[in-house]
Amino acid sequence: MSQFKRTSLLLSVALLASGTAAAAPVEAKVTGGVVRGVLTNGVASYKGVPYAAPPVGPLRWKPPQPLTPWSGVRSANSFAPACSQPTGGEQRSSEDCLFLNIWTAAKSTRERRPVMVWIHGGSFTGGSTASSIFDGTRLAQEGVVLVSVAYRLGVFGFLAHPELRRESGSSSGAYGLQDLIASLQWVQQNITQFGGDPDRVTIFGESAGGMAVSFLAASPPAKGLFQRAISQSGGVFAPPRDTDGPALGGPLRTLQLAERTGETLVKALKAPDIATARSIPAERIHKTVSDNNLLFWAVLDGDVVPGANIELYRAGKFNDVDILIGMNSDEGSGDAPPGATSAMFAERARHLPCAEQGTAILSSYPHATDAQAIRAFKDLGRDAGYGWNSWIWAHLHSTHGKSNVFMYYFDVRTPESPEGAWHGAEVPYVFGTLNVGASRADTQVSELIRRYWIRFATNGNPTKPGLPEWPAFNDSASQAMVFDSSPSARRLPHVDRIRALNKWFECARLLSS
């Protein structure tokens, strides 16, 4: 019997023995060799599976490279270190971090379950797949193969530099996104070994993870690697930023700004060239980044990210897959400046370009009293940072694409968040990892969300018999599924404010072009 058939049989036998609660070893043949995970309560989990070569030494600031095969059986029963980040992260971190994790309850490699690939958030500078909130057990029990992916962060994932661009002959500063593309290629090549369907892959993520989803949704190198996309509070459709500090622009940085930042770092490191910088310890690089207040985020590199999303979508140059996108009700929490007053809100609005559109925005956020002004700052932060990006994505995709578009609005309130749902509050509801003692109402919302997400991953439409109908998005109705104490499809809350913001964004974009 061949090694391939032997390991496939081992996987099938182990999965069929799912009636026991005890953990048992389970093996699978993947790119590079055989990995051994564990089977617990019917779910096989494989943690710390490499999908690319360690991006260290001479491979620092280079696209992900193929794995070197290993001999024997590689243990996959614990999470690998998080990708290198400043101290204070969730766990130990390392540059050797290109690993993924899989959870599956498939009983045979012949099954073809929908696959969901999770991209964690963390402002592109931190985060980890090891968070207990991202545990894939519940989603695997309910029918999907769940994969979570680590990708290079901060200075190691997004350093751009003219020397790097000349070295590659095309791109500079997109290593974190290239890692995600490499992980999706790994999924295409290996997921059948876990009972997954490579033709039904959904990428999903929250915050920076959702932003990564929005970049991949328009990235030519990612074409064909996934069929659905879910972005939770993460669209990026604002113009790319060409300067640091208070200026028009979103989290995407122009190549010119990114390369200036990269040159500043290399100079601060006192490195004569990139080859020398590759030999400098990660800790010193992180300290230099911090000491010089440098920011490394996603870059409009011209290859992985060929242009601003808003322009790509208007030109019909995007990966036309089914999408499900939305935001939370109190994501602007913390956006009110200290000592916010009514006069302060009005004054700031008056300094915006495009006075006519700015006045319309001002009037749509009540701010006659200081208490109203605090709320206005929060709501404007939510709508400008998350609401508009989600709405314009849905608008452009439904206008220029042929695939399904669905929107949601998460507004589950708790004693800790009585004014609305904070940024990231929906994530444990999606994974079914609510705290022990969660209310019956919360567990019911979590179950509903998971059923919608899984149904969407299965066939591109979240609606199924027995669930409240979730209509596809269109401009005239602007309907979204509102998750609150009585979930149902309604007109997207605050859509009129978002439309006013859209007029301002369009005017400001034209002024800056």
The one-letter code for the residue type at 61 is: W
Report the percentage of the chain scoring pLDDT > 70: 92
Contact 219, 168 (CB under 8 A): no
Judged on CB neighbours under 10 Å (0-12, 13-18, 19+), 162 is: middle
- Judge contact between 214 and 235, C-beta under 8 A: yes
- The per-residue pLDDT for 91 is 64
Beta bridge partners of 117: 147, 203
Q: How far apart are CA 465 and CA 82, in angstroms?
A: 40
pLDDT in tens, 429-461: 999 999 988 999 999 999 999 999 999 999 999
Digit-coded pLDDT (tens) for 212-237: 999 999 999 999 999 999 999 999 99
> What does the pLDDT look like over 347-376, one tens digit per residue?
876 777 776 777 788 888 999 999 999 999
Give the helix ranges, DSSP H, for 172-254: 175-190, 208-216
Report how far residue 300's alpha carbon sits from residue 109's, in angstroms, rounded to the nearest whole number: 39
CB 81 within 8 A of CB 93: yes
Pairing of strands 33-40, 43-50: antiparallel
207 is catalytic: yes
Question: Hey, what domains does the chain have and what are their CATH numbers?
Answer: 3-300 (3.40.50.1820), 326-512 (3.40.50.1820)
Q: Catalytic pick from 8, 84, 207, 329?
A: 207
In this prediction, residues 174-199 reach a mean pLDDT of 98
Q: Which of 12, 331, 397, 426 is catalytic?
A: 331
Identify whether 148 is a catalytic site residue: no
**Residue 3 pLDDT greater than 80, yes or no:** no
Phi-psi region of 233 (alpha: psi -120 to 50; beta: other; left: phi over 0): left
CA atoms within 13 A on the CB side of 448: 23
Helix (H) / strand (E) containing 24: strand 24-30
DSSP reduced 3-state for 289: helix
SS (HEC) of 296-326: CCCEECCCCCCCCHHHHHHCCCCCCCEEEEE
What residue type is assigned to position 272 of the chain? P
Task: Kindly name the residue from 367, 423, 426, 494 that is annotated as catalytic.
Answer: 423
Q: What is the mean pLDDT of the chain?
A: 91
Tokens 């964004």 found at: 505
31-85 residue pLDDT tens: 999 999 999 999 999 999 999 999 999 999 999 999 999 999 999 999 999 999 9
Residue 385 per-residue DSSP state: I
Higher pLDDT residue, 403 or 11? 403
27 is catalytic: no
**H or E, element range at 449:** helix 440-459
Please report the pLDDT score of residue 513 as a whole number.
56
